[in-house]
Homo-oligomer: A and B are copies of this chain.
Amino acid sequence: MSGDANGGSDHFGDALIARVRELGHPLCVGLDPHLDRIPPPFRAGTMAPAAPATADAVEAFCRAVVDRVAGRVAAVKPQVAFFEQLGWPGMRALERVVAHARGAGLLVVLDAKRGDIGSTAAGYAQAYLAADAPLAVDAMTLNPYLGLESLAPFAQAAQQCGRGFFVLAKTSNPGSGELQDLEVGGVPIYERVAASLAPLAGRLAGPATGWSSLGIVAGATWPAQHEALRARLPRALFLVPGYGAQGASADDALRGFVSGPKGLEGGLVSSSRALLFPPDGEGGDRARWEASLDEALARSTAELAQAVARSGAR
């Protein structure tokens, strides 16, 4: 992990929590470069996925976002699919965007939702979390369907290189309950996944804050479920997508957070579309888009900072 991004800590959980306390809010900016919504100043031709110029345009757009948000949020979360759909030039653009973000002092959480077994899982850990990973990030998201053994190489990277990872528990989509809410012995699957992670979360606890480098993904759209998840994992990080465009409020998003020295803490709350594509920032020139993004970012961080500070009332 680069010293720039985490202030010299070699533990993802500690680094993340320290940065969030400093900023006073847990906002994470999702880098979801939807091809059809990238603002005119960055567009190239028809933005066809297979056109090489499209990857360049996506890279320029994401770099511009990084430049606006650096120093104002703890982390960015690139969604791999938006880069992967452009073929290898998209993966090259992602590598450059990630390096740029880490160089600017941001933690990078790669939203990859990978999940595989044995040497294949080790391949994904090598790709993104190893000390010599070609596309090194600070943390990534993982899918638990193949069982706990599939997490082993990622846990090793957490211990050896200070990385982190977030396992899908309860995702933000309307249909997430289809499998995740099924109850086994009265306990829903998402809660069982969380419970099964508890021992590993403990082993990956940070020396400075006690927060683990292991986290879960818990959609902001399901706040009622966050308390049960937190009870199973008292010091695991929550990565909370769905705040903003997907309709969840700041208080909803923080439902699983707990009191800390600077208010509520315990993870990251992610917003993407509402920041990258602000309603009044489309169609205009670059300065107009930048001003709209700045304004949307200020609104979101203020809203979250207020919700964080309300912790005393709990």
Contact = CB atoms under 8 A, between A and B. Distances in A.
A114 interface: yes
A179 B84 contact: no
Contacts of A90: 134
A123 interface: yes
Contacts of A184: 182-184
Which interface class (under 10, 10 to 19, 20 to 34, 35 or more) fits A? Answer: 35 or more
Interface in A130-165: 130, 132-135, 143-150
A143 B115 contact: yes
Interface string A279-308: 000000000000000000000000000000
Given A87-B134, A120-B82, A127-B87, A175 B149 contact: yes
A275 to B, nearest CB: 16
A168 interface: yes
A178 to B, nearest CB: 4
Interface stretch (A60-68, A189-197, A247-255): A189-197
A259 interface: no
Nearest to A196: B178
A88 B88 contact: yes
Contacts of A82: 120, 123
A173 interface: yes
A123 B84 contact: yes
A87 B81 contact: no
A85 interface: yes
> What are the nearest 5 A-B pairs in CB distance?
A87-B134, A81-B123, A147-B175, A149-B175, A147-B178
Given A84-B124, A149-B173, A182-B182, 10 more contacts: A48-B132, A49-B134, A50-B133, A81-B123, A81-B127, A86-B134, A113-B115, A115-B145, A145-B179, A146-B176
12 contacts: A48-B132, A81-B123, A81-B127, A88-B135, A113-B116, A115-B143, A117-B176, A145-B180, A146-B173, A146-B176, A182-B184, A182-B192
